[in-house]
Amino acid sequence: MSIQGLVRPVVRSAVFSMAHLPGMVLSGSKPRREVALDGDGLQQQIVSNLRSFADAVAYPPHQVMIGNLSPEILDTIERPWHRQPVQNARSEGPGGRFIDEAALYAWMARGDSSRLLRFHESLPPEMETALEVHASGEKTQRIDKEAMANAVLRGAEPFYMGGTTDPVGVMMPAHDSDESLTAPVLLENAVAKVTGALALSDLLKESNGQPVDHLLGCGEEAVGDRYQRGGGNLAKAMGEMVPGEICGGTDVKSFCAGAIHAMILGAALIASGMHRRVVVVGGGSVPKLGMKFRGHLQAGYPILEDMVVGVAIDMTADDGVSPILRLDRSAFHRLGQGSAAHQMAEALSAGPLYAHNLKLSDVDRYAVELHNPDITEPAGSGNVPHNNYQILAAIAAKKGEIQREQMAEFAAAHGLPGFSPTQGHIASAVPYLPHAIAGLTSGTMQRVQCVAKASLFLGRMTGAGDGASLLIERNPALIH
Amino acid sequence: MIDLKGKLVLCLGERDGIAAPALQACVESAGAEVIYTETQCFV
């Protein structure tokens, strides 16, 4: 595909909202189910092994997420990384910032358009302050402990502040018999909406007030009622929470590959001249909180899946500086290409490069699924990025780019350590964007390939997987 | 080494490891009968 005559799309910035929600670990799918089976003993065990906000901020992989540390530094830090906190760690960086539970719950109150939240009549001082700061115009509904317990018996979903087993609030169900509007579903969707809106808000604060022509949502939540369970357009709901000129929105769905699909589609909208500025937004996942808590407890780790992360990615027409989104060197996984790891890597990484006379070794870094191995390995899920780089190195060897003995060297030179919270679509390639944009503008990098895969088979409608890749290149204006 | 000929097999795959259809292809080639396949994703 030629891009001659089309507007060149660029990626200007990517911002993450890192919501540290230890109290909401109990609302994660796995802990919620297991606590219901095991009772209070397990609940107390989980609560006793949660991290503090300061610990989450000082966690080295999180400092990489917000751009205060480079990913490569993690290779020099002994694992497990939670035992090596960063001294004087800052909660803000060029790639995003942390949000604590109180602020997140206050933003939920601010975005409670259907008035479904109820807060405890007596809240911790930090929660009261957060409501004043972030939801000052909202009249929060307060109930006492007994009313809260009764609401839970009638289907309301409680939420907590870390270290306590008394809820600070509940999400009410929106309907007596609509399973798409049950309280757990609504809580999941509200947190996704707010974490995405927070990232979008921060991204727009740092830009120059240029209108956003379109938002593309890339999350994995199903927003709707029983007649349209996954009706969607959470992107528009996020945009509504943020000041500024935002024209509209659409959701793009493909499991964990949603963000890369959305980036390609957004770049195409810019290239076509239809829009000048498109922002990809995604909220984080509550169900994934604490998914591997058993493994963490067994290893003597704190429960590391306590982060819900939102993202906003700013794409515009060529500004003469920002890295170019090479639509002609992007790829969608096609039906019939096969879903095994080597088939995916051939289709998404080698295919679009070799079609344009590039080699795998011409790409400085591959941003694959960047799940933090400290989270996945104790639960037996392996080191996901490492496995992906092994496959890429094997393909490079098969194509004669390197010798078989050079595979480890190739993986080290072109790969990255995993540093992302296990938040599905959030972890898929995009955590590297702040570093890639810096490396491709003020640094020395020429090319980064973003690669994401999707487990479509989990929905039981197909046995197939999916994936997408997008090559990002240094702006030619910086080369000449 | 297990002789899979005539055995009934449950194929439980992992997305970032070996997917169930690949397991199925292998064990069927060794003469097993696959009665269930599922691929899971743990991230």
Q: Summarize pLDDT for B1-43 with one digit per residue, the tens.
A: 889 999 999 999 888 778 898 899 999 999 999 999 988 888 8
**pLDDT tens digits, A453-466:** 999 999 999 988 99
3-state secondary structure of A38: helix
Question: A369: which chain B residues are within 8 Å (Cβ-Cβ)?
Answer: 16, 43
| Chain B nearest C-alpha distance from A65 (Å) | 17
Q: How confident is the model at residue A1 (pLDDT cuts 50, 70, 90)?
A: very low
Q: What is the pLDDT of residue A244?
A: 87
The confidence score (pLDDT) of residue A207 equals: 81
Burial of residue A472 (CB within 10 Å: 0-12, 13-18, 19+) is buried
Give A305's contacts in chain B (Cβ within 8 Å): none
Q: Which of A339, A376, A427 sits opposite B19 (nearest CB)?
A: A339
What is the average pLDDT score of chain A? 96
Indicate whether A57 pLDDT > 50. Answer: yes
- Choose the mutation target among A333, A370, A381 for the interface with B, i.e. most B CBs under 10 Å: A381
The whole-number pLDDT of residue A249 equals 97
Whether A180 contacts A225, CB under 8 Å: yes
Confidence of residue A165 (pLDDT cuts 50, 70, 90): confident
Beta carbons of A244 and A314 less than 8 angstroms apart: no
Question: What HEC string does A429-468 produce?
Answer: CHHHHHHHHHHHHCCCCCEEEEEEEECHHHHCCCCCCEEE
Residue whose entry in the numeric block shows the structure tokens 């490569």:
A72
Does residue A480 surpass a pLDDT of 70? Answer: no
Q: Residues A166-194: pLDDT tens digits?
A: 999 999 999 999 999 999 999 999 999 99
Among A324, A248, A257, which residue's Cα sits nearest to residue A12?
Answer: A324
pLDDT at A3: 55
Write out the residues of chain B at the interface with chain A, using a CB-CB cutoff of 8 A.
Answer: 14-19, 21-22, 37, 39-43
Asked if A283 contacts A195 with a C-beta cutoff of 8 angstroms, the reply is yes
User: Which pLDDT does position A4 carry in this prediction?
Assistant: 58
CB A140 within 8 A of CB A109: yes
Cβ within 8 Å, pair A376-B42:
yes
On whether any CB of chain B is under 8 Å from the CB of A427, the answer is: yes
Residues of chain A found within 8 Å of residue B40, distances taken between Cβ atoms: 458
B41:A455 CB<8 A: yes
Assigned token pair, A395: 């393909």
Picking from A367, A393, A385, the residue whose alpha carbon sits closest to that of residue A447 is: A367
Q: Which residues of A touch B39 (CB under 8 A)?
A: 455, 457, 463
3-state secondary structure (DSSP) of residue A52: coil
* pLDDT of the residue at B14: 85
pLDDT tens per residue across span A117-149: 999 999 999 999 999 999 987 889 999 999 999
DSSP state of A26: G
Residues linked to residue A215 through DSSP beta bridges, in sequence order: A249, A279
Select from B11, B12, B14, B15 the residue whose CB has the most chain A CBs within 10 Å, as the one to mutate to test that interface.
B15
pLDDT in tens, A236-259: 999 999 998 999 999 999 999 999
Quote ipTM for the complex.
0.82
CB A348 within 8 A of CB A469: yes
**Confidence at residue B15, expressed as pLDDT on a 0 to 100 scale:** 83
pLDDT tens digits, one per residue of A400-432: 999 999 999 999 999 999 999 999 999 999 999
Helix (H) or strand (E) holding A92: strand A92-93
Interface A:B, Cβ pairs < 8 A = 42
Per-residue pLDDT of A268-298, as tens digits, reads: 999 999 999 999 999 999 999 999 999 999 9
A312 — contact with chain B (CB < 8 Å)?
no
